Chain A
Amino acid sequence: MSSRAEVAAEVRASARPPEGLIHEWVRTWAFAHRNLIMARRNVFFVFELTFWPGVAMLSHGLLTRFLELTPQMTAFILAGTVALSTVQVCQLDVAYAVLFDIWSKSMKHQFLAPVAIRHLALGSWLVGVGRGLVVFALMAAIGSSAFGFDFLGAGPASLATFLLGCFLSALIIGLFVCALVILFGTRAESSAWAAVNFLVMLAGVYYPVSVLPGWAQTVSAFIPLTYFLDAFRAGYGFEPVFAHPALMGFALTALYLALGHWALAAALTRSRRTGLLLKLSE
């Protein structure tokens, strides 16, 4: 090595120790811990955790009573109610990884640090899963005590698959919401969530996808939640619409997670190029 090259190497070797798995976890935990603090400190977080899911379960349960639905049909409807509430609460946490910084105009500090998308997405998702489980427990308690709905009726494995599917769907939605917000700023917040609700509607939350118009059925076939609902309801005796729905759901989930990661990475790069990342911090 020539002496000039040695000098150059010396400049680069401003040695920082190599990083390992512990650093990966610490960065992931940073986002989880922040979401936990915020959830603990803000009364509205308790509200979104208990009030809306409680209202949804009670109103839909009462509707099934009014319509004099069979226990099987009640399970069909209430499974959709649980799916919608858990997905909504969990995806909110993923979106908070970016929204907290946008609302407080502190965006640039986060991305000035050596963090990757996986840290912010996984960290905030973990808290989302925790909060989603609380929502599920609350809804299960209301559903079983008030309307006789047995959430374990399809078996524990089926329930675990269903919940995992809901949480992974929330991660996908959260990633895309983050990407849209980073790409277009805060004005994209409401439209992102409107799009989410529209897509969830097409997943057949309260009805089989077969009642949807043809074009909507085509769209629903590309939504993982459609398959997770189909698989879960099969456990209550409904004929599955799709072959191997859980498998299809996870395969689509893997595809969309990769796409969501790519979309968020691309949005970040673009916001670094356009200067939006700085504008979101002013």
Chain B
Amino acid sequence: MAAADSLASSGLAVDARDLTKTFRSGWLRPRRTEALRGASLQVPRGAIFGLLGPNGAGKTTLLSILATLLIPDGGSARVLGYDVVREAREVRRRLNMASGNASFVWSLRPAEVLAFYGRLYGLHGRALRVRVDELIELCELGAHRTTEYNELSTGLKQRLAFAKALLNRPEVLFLDEPTLGLDPDVSVRIRAQIARLRRELGTTIILTTHYMREAEELCDEIAFIKGGRILARGAADALKRQIHIGEVVSLRLDPAEPIGLAELSGVLGMRRRGDRLEVTVDAVEKRLPELLRWLYGQGVEVRDCRVREADLEEVFVELAR
């Protein structure tokens, strides 16, 4: 089994197979929550990999198992060839993680937080001081060096969590909602750092996010997880083709929402976006002329009409349904 795993792991930063995890809670009325039901995931070295899914899909559970914070009930997982249960210490030396809702000891200052965790990764002396200074500069925390953690803003806390995750120059980095609740400008800077890490250091990055634009912008590959299983994976464009949910006809109409349109043959869905009505159809070549004929027949004025592919968010919604 170990030899087979090693071979299977070749060139893979993460190789998880058939992972299962059930949480049990309650004494009087025991409850079981199946968080993972045979999730498998292979991530090549040096990739930025997106893990998308609705709340409670199993994203954090999967990342936590890979990060050695949880022990799976079944299946196996290797990070850089090391088993996450039996060789957890070797995994921990090479991996790090930042989450959007990270928290650190409240009375410590950013430099002290970094120095504490730096030491846990074995950094000491001048190397530790230099690394802490580098990361404080990189994450623009210099002006807040002496501010206690509980007095930092959400954005600064998140930047500190990101800095902490880089302390040991991880070969594999897990980012759990890294831009959650951040201002757009801070999010842009964090995304730029993520891209730079892969480009300059070859770091393998797995990130979970609810922002589809972020996933499309950063990730080479994306996996959709739902109900504890990986439902689909691939590059964003390939996923859109694979999970074919039709094309979107974006219309500006007067009146804005004609009655009966949703019942037309080939119309898969409708939603309002600003002053436009977006109609998802199964085959645009066939349905667009029919749609326009019907609108003219109803006396609806078409002021603008555009056709586009369904975006990742629509694929996400379809899969999450």
A7 touches B10 (CB 8 A): yes
> Taking the complex as formed, is B243 at the interface, i.e. its CB lies under 8 A from any CB of chain A?
no
Chain A: CB-nearest residue to B109: A37
Q: Which of B145-174 contact A (CB under 8 A)?
A: 149, 164, 168, 171
**Interface-located stretch among A106-114, A143-151, A200-208, A234-242:** A106-114
Q: What are 9 residue pairs bridging A and B, where the CB atoms are less than 8 Å apart in the complex?
A: A11-B9, A11-B80, A26-B122, A30-B117, A104-B149, A105-B103, A106-B104, A106-B105, A109-B117
A104 touches B6 (CB 8 A): no
Residues of chain A contacted by B119 (CB below 8 angstroms): 26-27, 29-30, 33
| Size bin of chain B's contact surface | 35 or more
B12's partner among A11, A14, A41 (CB-CB below 8 A) is A11
Residues of chain B contacted by A26 (CB below 8 angstroms): 119, 122-124
**Interface-located stretch among A56-64, A84-92, A132-140, A271-279:** A271-279
Residues of chain A contacted by B60 (CB below 8 angstroms): 278
B122 touches A104 (CB 8 A): no
Query: Hey, what's the 0/1 contact readout for A1-22 against B, CB within 8 Å counting as 1?
Result: 0001101110110101001001
Query: Hey, what's the 0/1 contact readout for A256-280 against B, CB within 8 Å counting as 1?
Result: 0000000000000100111101100
A101's partner among B9, B105, B107, B123 (CB-CB below 8 A) is B105
Q: Which 10 A-B pairs have the closest CB atoms?
A: A30-B119, A8-B6, A113-B120, A12-B81, A23-B122, A114-B92, A7-B10, A26-B124, A11-B81, A105-B103
A38's partner among B11, B69, B103, B107 (CB-CB below 8 A) is B107
Given contacts A5-B3, A11-B81, A112-B92, 9 further A-B contacts (CB under 8 A): A5-B7, A16-B93, A26-B119, A37-B112, A109-B117, A112-B68, A112-B96, A112-B97, A113-B120
A113 touches B121 (CB 8 A): yes
A4 touches B7 (CB 8 A): yes
Binding site for A on B (CB under 8 A): 3, 6-7, 9-12, 23-24, 45, 60, 64, 67-71, 80-82, 89, 92-97, 101-108, 112, 115-117, 119-124, 149, 164, 168, 171
Residues of chain A contacted by B3 (CB below 8 angstroms): 5
